[in-house]
Structure 1
Amino acid sequence: MPVPVQRDPEQTRLALADWLAARMPRAREVTVGPVRVPGAAGYSGEILLCDAEWTEDGTTRRGEPLAVRVAPTGHRVHPEDRWPEQVRLLQVLDGTDVPAAPLLGHEPDASVLGAPFLVMRRIDGRVPADFPSYHREGWLADLPPRRRRAVWLGGVEMLAAIHRLDPLALGLGFLDRPRYGTGHLAQQLAEYTGLLPFYGAQHNEVAAAASAWLRDHRPEEPGPPRLLWGDARLGNIVYDGETPAAVLDWEMAALGEPESDLAWFLHLDRHLSEGIGATRLAGLPDRAETVRHYEHLTGHRVRDLEYYEVFAAFRFCVLTARVTRLLEESGIMPPGTDFPLHRNATRLLARVLDERGARYGDAAVPR
């Protein structure tokens, strides 16, 4: 259920053609094909796909695949889009061994498309879908267990590659958010717990209980901080066969302890299986094997993972409250539709709290 096109597709196509032509002075007859939304896109970013064609030095380049990411305007999941930081991070990643989609250019002027945007070379491949869950159907479910295992471990290897980067050497200090407090975990906690009304989760009793638990059990951050992908999950990886070809979606990127990413990776998979009542695919490594493989790849001993799993469940619960509200307000989800995303996320958060001894149960889960 992707974010819809928030601007006229034909005007967008023509504006992109003019924009590309202005940045390629040797190109002639620049055209852009129909603009479309990817079927497997997520909620938070407006992604437009198109193919460009032009003639340069007598040679015609046909079907150049492009992906255009537009800064959120009306459909904003997060309180801040942090757009300049996203662009800057993609520029930094281009010089590393993390396979992010190549950034071809960006436009800070909102007058072109109604919001800033960036243009990337589209990486062809397959992405495990959230809707319907890849545990229920799709190309991953169709693979034999041995190959599913390779897909999962490839995702863990992407986490390891990101966490091996040196934020200091790469100049990633711009991802720090000192206005939310001292310490990277404290900053993230403050953002989510302090802005519950924005997300629409201020009346969720399970989220309130998790917020209190997280404050009371906050671990130390031995550091040094690593680059955090933020939305680390299989659904943000483009695969060429069973091999990751590109890592997508950096709008939740931050600095902090790598366990935060690992916990999110595990929890989002749990949500798409146990959280929605689906049987987890055979062949996918379990939590313990995933942790062992991650430690082997990074040489980092995983600490306090249980805490970060509660944090992941809490953040996902809060974000799904916001997503549900946006779907209702935008008309994507008609009034009266039973869309269980937030309810399922809340119920799974209650279960995670129970596992950590909070004894909360799901009595307060909205029906």
Structure 2
Amino acid sequence: MSAAPRPRTTTRDPEELTRRLSAWLATLPQALDSARTGGTPIPAPRVTAATVPASNGMSSETLLFDIDHPDLGVRSCALRLAADPAAYTIFPRYDMPRQYRTMELVADRTDLPVPRTLWLEEDPAHLGAPFFVMARATGRVPPDVMPYTYEGSWLHDATDAERDRLEAASVSVLARLHDQLPATSAEFLALPGAGTPLRRHVDAQHAYYTWVVDGLPRSPLIERGFAWLADHWPEDPGGTVLTWGDARIGNIVYDGFEPTAVLDWEMAALGPRELDLGWMIYLHRFFQDLTESSGQPGLPDLLRRDRVESRYAHLTGHQPRAMEFHTLYAALRHAIVMLRVAYRQVHFGEQSVPADADGLILHRDTLEAMLAGRYW
């Protein structure tokens, strides 16, 4: 595997987005009340210092900005905007109220550091899609581009002891989420369908794959992966918790090596604990394998599967189960996303449709090795 150029993610103009966001802020009741104070017109709040993060996600978009308010001064914020409908979206649907509600619930019912939510706007007329605004967290994030496993990143340059602190604190995020928030408090995150939450989760992923390949070449490798899951289904899927979904260190803001904000609740759902554990373990391995393929050593001792499982068991009393299943499932889910990203590149003329769809999957060799039982 080798690093590929970053594909196009939006058709939106950041300057136009900033202008429209300023116009929307001026319509808020707080802004209108401020403008009437003392009968003297006061300038409406405006957006300043707007920037798009260099590691902006491949799905929903993020805009960092300040609000310059006549009465309140400057407030640092982050906008989370549903994917650009004109940009060949990664997912078929973006439920911003669901994300917003999830963040409010986690902030209210756990001690996890979740950014404070400020406003939810469901009307797409303002910015072209629903969005919400939250307080901006300060700190640093392990980057995706170039991956934090590459030489030169702040995490790569840290000491072994510092990375160990980060790993322990990150696994603790999962343990506390799963232990502190009862699934009964988050029934709105139950996926549709029949059967156990794990069955519903896998069925939803299969439906997503079907959507991705509609009218395009199918992936024999991904389809083999689903067949493998059916043949190796856990006898006991385990209890149900609220799973973060995109549980990886690239979605955590750190102060030093301690989490200060847990971000990106787009993929949250009810399911077994191992969904999050498998995703955290595998997404690191994805970057690690990518780094090794480029000739660098990476961070082979970070987020090792055995140590993550041991730390989690110590914190929760729950011994992770069926982890071969869940790490392969994480790699399979990631393969579907990678296939969609590649087909978006085809859509924008950044590459042509290949004869072999499996060649679009960056971690093809890893998934092949997992299916053959020789990866771990």
**TM-score when scaled to structure 1?**
0.87
2:14 is aligned with 1:9: yes
Q: 1:49 and 1:330, CA in 2 relative to 1: closer, same or farther beyond 3 A?
A: farther
Unaligned runs of 5+ in 2: 1-5, 35-41
Tell me whether 1:69 sits opposite 2:83 in the alignment. no
Aligned to 1:84: 97
Paired position in structure 1 for 2:278: 263
Alpha-carbon distance between aligned partners in 2 of 1:303 and 1:336, rounded to the nearest angstrom: 39
When residues 169 and 204 of structure 1 are mapped into structure 2, their CA distance, relative to the original with a 3 A threshold, is: closer
Q: 1:12-41 deviations in whole A, cap 9, x for unaligned?
A: 223322333324244443121143210012
**1:185 partner SS:** helix
Q: Hey, what's the Cα distance between the residues in 2 that align with 1:97 and 1:2? A: 36
How far apart, CA to CA, are the structure 1 residues paired with 2:353 and 2:219?
Answer: 20
Query: CA 1:68–1:330 in 2, change beyond 3 Å: closer, same or farther?
Result: farther
Indicate the percent of aligned positions where both proteins have the same amino acid: 34
Alignment of 1:64-143 (within 5 A): 64-72=75-83, 73-75=85-87, 76-95=89-108, 96-137=110-151, 138-143=153-158
CA distance in 2, matches of 1:37, 1:3: 14
Alignment partner for residue 191 of structure 1, among 204, 208, 227? 204
Deviation (angstroms), 1:227? 0.7
Three-state SS of the structure 2 residue aligned to 1:66 is strand
Greater shift, 139-148 or 3-12, is seen at 3-12
Residues 280 and 10 (structure 1), Cα distance of their counterparts in 2 relative to 1, 3 Å cut: closer
| Residue type at the aligned position of 1:226 | V
What is the aligned counterpart of 2:362 among 337, 344, 349? 344
SS in 2 for 1:272: helix
Whether the aligned pair in 2 keeps the contact of 1:2 and 1:40 (CA below 8 Å) is: no
Cα pair distance change 1:341/1:287, threshold 3 Å? farther
Q: What is the DSSP-based 3-state SS (H/G/I as helix, E as strand, rest coil) of the residue aligned with 2:112?
A: coil
TM-score (normalizing by structure 2):
0.85
CA distance in 2 between counterparts of 1:4 and 1:79 reads 15
Q: Deviations over 1:10-69 (max 9, x none)?
A: 33223322333324244443121143210012211111111111122xxx513x211101
Residue matched to 1:294: 312
Preserved contact between residue 108 and residue 117 of structure 1 (Cα < 8 Å): yes
Distance in 1, matches of 2:140 and 2:121, equals: 28
**Does the CA-based 8 Å contact 2:156-2:298 persist in structure 1?**
no
Secondary structure of 2:63's match?
Answer: strand
The whole-number CA distance in structure 2 between the counterparts of 1:53 and 1:210 is: 51
**1:222-250, Cα deviation, whole Å (9 max, x unpaired):** 54310111111111111111011111111
What amino acid does structure 1 have at the position aligned with 2:192? P
1-structure distance, mates of 2:86, 2:312: 38
Shift of 1:128: 0.6
Partner of 1:355: 373
Q: Does 1:303 align with 2:308?
A: no
Unaligned runs of 5+ in 1: 358-367
Q: Is the 8 A contact 1:196 1:202 kept in 2?
A: no
Residue 187 of structure 1 and its aligned partner are, at CA, apart by 1.1
Moved more, 279-288 or 268-277: 279-288
Instruction: Supply the distance in 2 between the matched residues of 1:44 and 1:82 (Cα, whole angstroms).
Output: 12
SS at match of 1:318: helix
Structure 2 residue identity aligned to 1:273: Q
Which amino acid in the other structure matches residue 274 of structure 1? D
Q: Deviations over 1:149-187 (max 9, x none)?
A: 2122221111112111333453x10111233x2211111
1:188 positional shift: 1.6
Does the 8 Å CA contact 2:96/2:122 hold for their aligned counterparts?
no
Q: Aligned residue for 1:365?
A: none
CA contact (8 A) 1:126 1:239 kept: yes
1:173 aligns with 2:187: yes
State the superposition RMSD in angstroms.
2.5
Asked if 2 retains the 8 angstrom alpha-carbon contact of 1:3 and 1:42, the reply is: no
- Report Cα offsets for 1:88-116 as digits up to 9, x if no partner: 11121221312121111110111111111
Change (3 A) 1:61 1:334: farther
Match of 1:147 among 159, 162, 171: 162
